[in-house]
Each structure stands twice: as structure tokens, then as C-alpha cells.
A and B are shown apart, each in its own frame.
Chain A
């Protein structure tokens, strides 16, 4: 065989392709390494979701569970971050709470990465960054920015139509990888259903009384800056929202629809004794009107396109002139979380007292970075 010109160019291009594969391959693989968290001294023990459902053992979604147990007996609260790993404030609030909280009465359980698999990938076609960084007094701390859904590498293929069990509700096929459409979950189902099942088992076995599922949504989504509650928790939710409004934090109360299945605020309430709350803030990078898509958009939340939409007045959007920065979104979540627990305590239930969490104005002024460890 003679060496033709085309074979020389082919060899060069092949080497280039191999180099690109190695570089990008390493970047994609890096998203599988777990993030490091630095729990506060209030941490009493850690566990894993597989402690509650062994079917999760060895899977990407065998998430870490952190326990903060007070000296005095009281109620138990569960805080879930990272149900949708593309909703940055959700996972970040769970980390902030986990790295600061001291519990004096009752117990707090934190799962900062509910759908860990979703943190290993990004949503296709969105140009989303793989990471975002929060400035802290001692340097930047990097967090993974993930996909709304379980990674297709961990759960594949999607059916054409996703039939939710046990309700029989039919949704688009890709929703089969949406943790917040999978509750109450199934032990013999998909990885997403198994994860949901594990979380419900934890709620039951740990006798959780109040549970939070943190989210963010696009500014044009109607349910935003809201607390979604199950009907049995209405009094707690409305009392908390009244307090928040008195402080000037506007939150809309949303009753969980009884016929929309698979969601935490519906199924946790129906299948366990817990009072469930789902909270939403406004995250421009998730919106369809956004322009340049970058890690800064996640953190600073400034989008000229949304500002234009706001000024046009043609749309009802949750977007302020100055943007929707991560400080405000985190401050909202932390404050709503605290006020709901306080309302629960005030209504004569066995209390849960959380200390050392920043106030709304503190987070706005000092930034999120003041309340998390700098990391490496």
C-alpha cells in the first residue's frame, strides 16, 4: 500500500479527533466526582439514601443524608436541595443551611443533592455552563450546574409516554427522568422512581413532620416566588406567608392541585404524615427569553432580554429591574424555610429550633459567599 496524501491528512485529523475526545472526555468525567461539603459543627451523623432503600446502593443516586439533632426532643424537618440540578439556588440553599445550622430542639435532615445523577450532565441544547462559582471572602467556590433530569447514562431509554404509578397520569416520555414527577416512587421502577421511593421511605422511617423541596423556575412561569403546600399544611403555609408579607417579602400561596401527580407537594402529603412545602424562586437562565447563557447569568441573574420584556409590560414575569441575583433567591428560600418552621412551631406542634442561619437582609448585604466555606 502506498501512502497517499489523503492518508496523511486522515492521520493528522484522527490524532486531532483523539485529542479533542480526551480533553472533552475528561471534562465530562469530572462532573461525576462528588462535590465536597463542609457541615457545621452541629452535624450529629450522616447516612445515605440506600439506608432507607437498599435498591439505591451502588447507583449514582445513593445520595448523602446529613443529620442535625438537637439535645431536646422535638419535631423532624427534612430539607431537600437539588431535585432539579439546573435550579442553582435549590442546591445552594441546602449547602448554606448544612454548613451553618445548629439545631437545639428537634431534628433537621438535609439532602443537598437529591438527584445526584442530574448533577453529572447538562440539559441538551441549552448552552448551560457545567459549573458556576460563588465568591467567598477566601476565594471562589465552584458548584456543579446540572440537568433538570436524571442522566440518560443512568436511565435509558425514555418511553414515548411516561405513565406515572400508581395514578396512571400520562406525561411526555422524558418526564420519566424528572424526580419531581416520580413520587411516591417504586422499588422496582426506574432509577428516578427508586430515588423517589428512597426519599419517601426516609420520610416514613425518620417520622419527618415537615419537609421542604426547593426549586427555581423561569421568570415567565406563573408559579414563582411561591410556596406550594399540601392542603393539610394550609394553616402553617398561610401563617408563614402572612409573616413574610409583613417583612416585605412577597410570596404567593399555591395550593397543591389534587389531580396533578408525582410531585413532592402532592405525593409526600398523600402517602406519608409529613407536611410538604415546595418553594420556587425566579432564575433567568431557565427562561426562554434569556440571551447570552453563562455562569454569570446564574449568579448575577441579570438579563437585558428579560428587562426588555419587563419594560414592554406585555408579559407577566418575575424579574426585577436589577435582575434576579443568587443572593436574593437564596435569601428568599432561607427566609421562607425559617418562617414556615416558625409558623409550624407556633401552631402548637412539637417545635424545631434552628439557630445560626442568616437573615434575609444579611444574605442580601453580605452575599451567599459569606455563609459558605471557601473550599479548595
Chain B
């Protein structure tokens, strides 16, 4: 159970980092690439997939 929460916290942390990079990114093509990775993290943090 502790492992589970550590995992969620790490995942959420990486998601926030991704979000920050996303807003800083100038190239819209790279923004799309980051967004694609974010979808996976959203589904994982919400424990859907």
C-alpha cells in the first residue's frame, strides 16, 4: 500500500514536470509530443489504465 502511494506520487510529480515543460515549449510539434505522453500519465494517475 505504501508502494502504491509512492508510485502515484512519483507519477504525479513527473506529470507536473511534463506540464511545466509543455508550457515552456515554443515548437507546437514538440508540444504535441509532450501531450501524447501526458495522456498516458493522466490515465495512470487516475488508475484507469
Closest chain B CB from A245 CB (angstroms): 46
Q: Are B22 and A10 in contact (CB under 8 A)?
A: yes
| C-alpha gap A84/B23 in the complex (Å) | 44
Number of B positions contacting A (CB below 8 A): 20
Known A14-B35, A156-B4; judge A21-B22 contact (CB<8 A): no
Which residues on B sit within 8 Å (CB–CB) of A17? 35-36, 38-39, 42
Which residues on B sit within 8 Å (CB–CB) of A153? 47, 49
**Set A13, A16, A25: member contacting B48, Cβ < 8 A:** A25
| C-alpha gap A121/B49 in the complex (Å) | 8
Q: Does A41 contact B (CB under 8 A)?
A: no
Interface string of A30-51 (1 = CB under 8 A from B): 0000000000000000000000
Main secondary structure of the interface of B (DSSP, over half): helix
Q: Are A13 and B28 in contact (CB under 8 A)?
A: yes
Q: Are A16 and B43 in contact (CB under 8 A)?
A: no
Closest chain A CB from B7 CB (angstroms): 8
Q: Does B3 contact A (CB under 8 A)?
A: yes
Q: Are A10 and B43 in contact (CB under 8 A)?
A: no
Which residues on B sit within 8 Å (CB–CB) of A6? 25-26, 28, 31
Q: Are A25 and B46 in contact (CB under 8 A)?
A: yes
Closest chain B CB from A23 CB (angstroms): 10
Closest chain A CB from B32 CB (angstroms): 6
Q: Does A29 contact B (CB under 8 A)?
A: yes
Chain A's closest residue to B19 (CB) is A14
Closest chain A CB from B9 CB (angstroms): 15
* Chain A stretch 16-30: residues in CB contact (< 8 A) with chain B: 16-18, 20-21, 24-25, 28-29
Q: Are A13 and B31 in contact (CB under 8 A)?
A: yes
Which residues on A sit within 8 Å (CB–CB) of B43? 21, 24-25, 28
| C-alpha gap A25/B39 in the complex (Å) | 10
Known A6-B26, A9-B28, A13-B28; judge A24-B39 contact (CB<8 A): yes
Which residues on A sit within 8 Å (CB–CB) of B4? 156
Q: Are B28 and A28 in contact (CB under 8 A)?
A: no
Which residues on B sit within 8 Å (CB–CB) of A137? none
Q: Are A29 and B35 in contact (CB under 8 A)?
A: no
Q: Does A157 contact B (CB under 8 A)?
A: yes
Residues of A within 8 A of B (CB): 6-7, 9-10, 13-14, 16-18, 20-21, 24-25, 28-29, 121, 153, 156-157
Q: Which 6 A-B pairs have the closest CB atoms?
A: A9-B28, A17-B35, A21-B42, A28-B49, A13-B35, A25-B48
Residues of B within 8 A of A (CB): 3-4, 7, 22-23, 25-26, 28, 31-32, 35-36, 38-39, 42-43, 46-49
In the assembled complex, 26 residue pairs joining A and B whose CB atoms fall closer than 8 Å, in A order, are: A6-B26, A6-B28, A6-B31, A9-B28, A10-B22, A10-B23, A10-B25, A13-B31, A13-B35, A14-B22, A14-B35, A16-B35, A17-B35, A17-B36, A20-B39, A21-B39, A25-B43, A28-B43, A28-B48, A28-B49, A29-B48, A121-B49, A153-B47, A153-B49, A156-B4, A156-B7
